[in-house]
Each structure stands twice: as structure tokens, then as C-alpha cells.
Amino acid sequence: MSSCGRWAVLDVYEAVTSRRAVRGFTDRPVPGKVLERVLSAAAWAPSGSNIQPWHAYVLTGAPLAEVKKRAGERLAVGDAWDEPEYEMYPPALKPPYCERRAAFGEQRYGALGIPREDLEARQRAASANWDCFGAPAALFCYIDRDMGPAQWADVGMYLQSVMVLLRAEGLHSCPQMAWAKFHRTVAEVVSPPDGLLLFCGMSIGFEDDTVDLGRAERAPLDETVTFIDGYLSE
Ligand SMILES: Cc1cc2nc3c(=O)[nH]c(=O)nc-3n(C[C@H](O)[C@H](O)[C@H](O)COP(=O)(O)O)c2cc1C
């Protein structure tokens, strides 16, 4: 790694495969110039007709502390979540997705020693979302309310670009739909223009490597990819 914390050379495969949802960060600050560099490069993400439908707000220091404080206050008094402005999952998630989702829950909460039936403990663990898992920086990503599925996909490509570039800087991240359940709290601090809705937050920082929560597996390649190219079977 270079003195500014940026890896001199980082293989793209390594950047992609070492990205994971990190849920434990140190309080080491993330330099503003690094965030600027990452977001300038991520702007090269593709989008249909190049409309670039993402609106990112990057918070550090006092403004982020304020968001976390307000969210923490709401949690402390048992305030109901905000209704997310989009459906996070289809109401009846069918196989294989429901099975993958259950496996994720087992892995995520099992790593914390929380049994499946202890919903309260799961909820307590999940509440770390609204402290950004201790991260000193966060990005809140908005999209225009009237955008359709293709533009949401554009935003996903943008966010993945951000997360992979963060790896190139030695940083980690966690994308968080959980913040959509506190969108009013985020809006109180970032004041987004009318018409935008909060898709997700993203915690950003240096990993606290004393926190090892394991890794979410992936489905075997032949479950999600079908090769029809004749060359591959020759
Ligand atoms: C759009 C999106 C929203 C997510 N929301 C949350 C969240 O609110 N909280 C959380 O801890 N992880 C969240 N995640 C992380 C996923 O759980 C994680 O990406 C998935 O389990 C795969 O694990 P990996 O990213 O570590 O490989 C989200 C991921 C995506 C792409």
C-alpha cells in the first residue's frame, strides 16, 4: 500500500472478491480526498442513455454523528420505523431465494451466537446498522421517485463501483437498505430535494479485524449462470 493508503496495484479480481459487507469498523477517519477520488472514479459507472440517476450524499464527522444520534434516539424510545419507500423484497419470496435468505440469516446471526428463534437478539444485532457498525463515513444513495427498474439497476452498478474502488483504497463498506427504514432521520440531516427517495446507506471505513463475522457463501456457478457458448464445452 502506498503512503496515502492507496494500493499501488490492485487486481480487479481481488478488489471484487475481497469486497464484502463489513459489519465492524474502526474509528480511523477516512480522508475526504480519498472519498472524492473514489466517487470521481465511480461516476464512470454505466447507465442507460448515460442519465446517471444516482444522488449520493457522503457524510463524515458531525453530520454523520448527528444522523447516528438521531437514529439511536429513535431506537432507544422504540419509535416505529419509517415505512420504506419501496418494497425491499417481494412479499412471498419463492425458492431458491427464500432458502438463500434463510441461509444468510443463519450465517449472519449464527456468527454472533444468536439462535434462529431469538428474534429479539437478532433485532438488537441488526440495530448496529444505524450506528453504521462504527464506521466514520457513510454514503446515502437516493434515486428519483419516478425512476423505473432499469435506473435502479444503474444505481446498483454505481454502488458496486463505489464499493470496489473503496477496496482499492484499502477501505471496506457495507451497503444498507436498513437506512431506508430511517429515511426521515437521514433526510433531517441531508435535506434531499423533493422527489428523491432513499434507496440505501453505505457504511465506509477501515475494517475492525477483531470482528470476524464470517463470509456469506455464493450459489454454485451453474445455479446462476448458463453458458450456451459452444467453445466452452469443446
Ligand atoms: C442493496 C443492498 C442492501 C443491503 N442492506 C443491508 C443492510 O441493511 N444491513 C446489512 O447488514 N447488510 C446489508 N446488505 C449486505 C448483504 O447482506 C450482503 O451483501 C450479502 O449478504 C452478501 O454478503 P457479502 O456482501 O458480504 O458478500 C445489503 C446489500 C445490498 C446489495
> 222 with 182: CB under 8 angstroms?
no
Whether ligand 1 lies within 6 angstroms of the CB of 23 is answered as yes
Which of 87-101, 111-125, 134-148, 196-210 is predicted least confidently?
Answer: 111-125
Pairing of strands 137-144, 172-176: unpaired
CA 30/CA 48 separation, integer angstroms: 31
| pLDDT confidence bin for 2, thresholds 50/70/90 | very low
Ligand 1 atom nearest residue 104's Cα = 21
Ligand 1 site, residue 177, Cβ cutoff 6 A: yes
203 in ligand 1 pocket by Cβ < 6 Å? no
pTM over 0.85: yes
Residue 6 has pLDDT above 90, yes or no: no
Instruction: Measure 121 CA to ligand 1 centroid, in angstroms.
Output: 19
For residue 227, report the distance from its CA to the centre of ligand 1, in Å: 27
Does ligand 1 come within 6 angstroms of the Cβ of 180? no
Each residue of 142-189: pLDDT tens digit? Answer: 999 999 999 999 999 999 999 999 999 999 999 999 999 999 999 999
* Confidence (pLDDT) at 137: 98
Provide the β-strand partners of residue 72: none
Backbone angles phi, psi at 165, to 5 degrees: -65, -35
CA dihedral angle for residue 37, residue 39, residue 41, residue 46, rounded to 10 degrees: 180
- Across all residues in the chain, what is the average pLDDT? 94
84 lines ligand 1 (CB under 6 A): no
